[in-house]
Chains A and B, each alone.
Chain A
Amino acid sequence: MQLDDYEPFVGRGTIDELRLLGARLRERTIATVNSTAVGGGVAEILNRMVPLAREVGVNIRWEVMKGGEDFFALTKRVHNALHGKPDRLSAHDEEVYRETTQRNLADLDLDADVIFVHDPQPAGLVAARRPERGRWAWRCHIDLSAPAPEVWSFLARAVSQYDAAVFSAPQFGRDLRMPQVMITPSIDPLSDKNCELSADEIDKITQALRVPRDKPIITQISRFDHLKDPVGVIDAFRLVRRYNDCRLILAGGSATDDPEGAEVLQQVHERANGDPEIHVLELPPTANREINALQRASTIILQKSLKEGFGLTVSEALWKGKPVIAGAVGGIPLQIKHRYSGILTHTVEGTAFWIKQLLNAPEYARRLGENGREHVRTNFLLTRHLRDYLLLFLFLEHPSERVVEFD
């Protein structure tokens, strides 16, 4: 992908602004560090972002830290604890983290003007920080609103040495002394999950998934997890169907390796009770075009989460111009302004009420969808994400200024 490929979505001016910013960073070297080159959201973003940053003239290199199984088992626990699962680290755990950090400090080239580190795994690399060289930013992709206190306190010892921390939503920020920057995540309009699809391809995919398109379709795409409330979605659907004829699709990743997911899936099947108008679809992780087609075939898209990280599936749905009804949790209120670019709800009854409203007022639903798409175009596409990263790199040189004027 090249930057110009994004011009049809964001316009020439946005592309030119990225090039202007890139020119300001031409003399700098940037090292960005994470813990995996493939798989996972961070690697996916860097795989697209790093080439685009280079294209605008930024001298950026991508370093990947290495660790053994014990290290990654530990950092998986740290990840869950930062999301709020109660846990504490033993002296051995801390030693595993320190040892892996030390080994990587010897192997990685961290000599750069800006060192941009993603998530908890490589956070300890800040031990290499020297006062005379390089500024360090820690990018946290995790919802830190209620972390397990002892695990956060361990990580905070490293994080507090950074020059800036970056969070995805205001409520994820912590009590830290350095500047905290908010950079929301983004979707890529050129990826399989978000690109335009022909009517023919949408038809073929929905047929293959055995979803008739004979009546309005209400869809929720999310893994089978209590926090996404799929059972509540079925309850809301049943309230709607007393008055409106429609179908429901609940589509998410297969739950074969996830005992908790399998239990939720079982509950979903029990609640659906063989209803032919409720389609429960287990999709493989590679089913991006299928998800894209299901969203485009839908009349209304739901994300009835009870707790959410950023909830980027909302932006994915809005990008397809669909009216979205979603729980007012996590990063979702940043993506939807209630009654302007979508609907925010708190209950099963509220969700059912708004589904009926939108089914019965298709013109209003259409306008919400159009507004939602424009909101994503302005605020949640990859080009805005790249712009914010470039601004962050510049900000690190002017941390106390609020207006930075270049000649």
Chain B
Amino acid sequence: MPDLQPPDDVLLSSLAARDLGALAALYDRYGRLAYSLAYRILGESEAAEDVVQDAFLSAWRGAGTYRRERGNPRAWLLSIVHHRAVDILRRKTTFRPAPLEMAESQPSDDDTALTAEKNVEHRTVREALEALPQAQRRTIELAYFGGYTHVELSELMGVPLGTVKGRMRIGLQKMRRALERTR
């Protein structure tokens, strides 16, 4: 059975044409992942929902200005979610939930072929991250999900800034090699 779902690029073009159906389809495709990312960063369901709504509305308003060089539509949308969530996190000065304190994986309740295929991709990325030495993995997680700047990480982890940069560089290089092997 061929996949009749319109590709992301087509959905974005329709979004630019103010097609609410395209917005609904984009949300159905990425709303769950966007919410999960926002929740992972913020640790609060209400704030995460606000971020997701804000991000999709931002895409709704800005789809006409989307350019492919910004990344594919999924990456573009999730980068909006990430930026919004981290902005909110950084405004909170009292407490930042570290990613390792956050919720553990929950099994997916979908069993479609597409979901199964996606889950393979997700597992590959997760395994690539988990395979990193703890210091590199923690640096990447605290930076991306914890919203810490590299200078803050240097203080938090008690290591020179150059070490933080090195952990990021080597960690991402290893992840790239791991992902390339599976593609």
Q: Bound pair: A and B?
A: no
